[in-house]
Amino acid sequence: MITFKAFLTENNSLAVVPDNLSDLSLEQFLDKLTKDPKTGRPYTLKEFADKASWLSLYMGNKYGIGSSRENKDQLLSELIVMLSTYFHQRILWPKIQPLRDKIQEYYSTPEYKNYYTKRNELFKAIMTARRNGEDTSGLYKQKSELEDSSPATEHVGKLEAAIDQISRETSKTPITSEFFEPSDPVNGETFTKIYNLFESLK
């Protein structure tokens, strides 16, 4: 019967490590795991995320979604998925978080709050009219016109488009050793969980 380690290598091109992890530091483990075992080329952020997602689905089908961690295979799978999250936090988030913050700041402006209040009032009026069996076509038209003229359409739309563009470009970033160390408290917290889980696997 094919081993889990062989399965990962042959079916997912995911590098695997020796059964005895005590001989590896976390940095050595990451260096092995983030490179194509056949070519030695570093995986891109998207390639690693795709493999982690595939592995998560495989383990979910094998052991059940949300199952307790029963063996080393499941722990290793959990570690790989957690690493994918970490690399996104480490590589992508610093580029798009300022734009996300701008979106949230805009949602706090009086201009947007006024629009949001009017939209909610129209939505409540539509629900009331429907319960009373009244014609709602006029109210739906008002709601549609209001949404079409939303102050967020252009402002937030541009920011979201920029986030999408940056995300597409950043997904091609090779995962190299410069990203193995955390750069801020958010990815530092995830890195600590990774380190502890890696140590538990030794």
pLDDT average per 10 residues of sequence, the chain (202 residues): 50 57 88 88 95 77 56 82 96 97 94 93 96 95 91 88 98 97 94 94 82
Q: Specify the pLDDT at position 149.
A: 87
pTM over 0.75: yes
Long-range contacts of 11-16 (CB under 8 A, 24+ apart): 12/51, 12/54, 12/55, 13/37, 13/38, 13/51, 14/51, 14/55, 14/80
Domain assignment of residue 164, given as a range: 4-201
Q: Give me the amino acid identity at 79.
A: L
Query: Can you read off the two tokens belonging to residue 41?
Result: 């080329």
Burial string for 120-133 (b: 16+ CB within 10 Å, else e) reads eebeebbeebeeee
Number of domains into which the chain is organized = 1
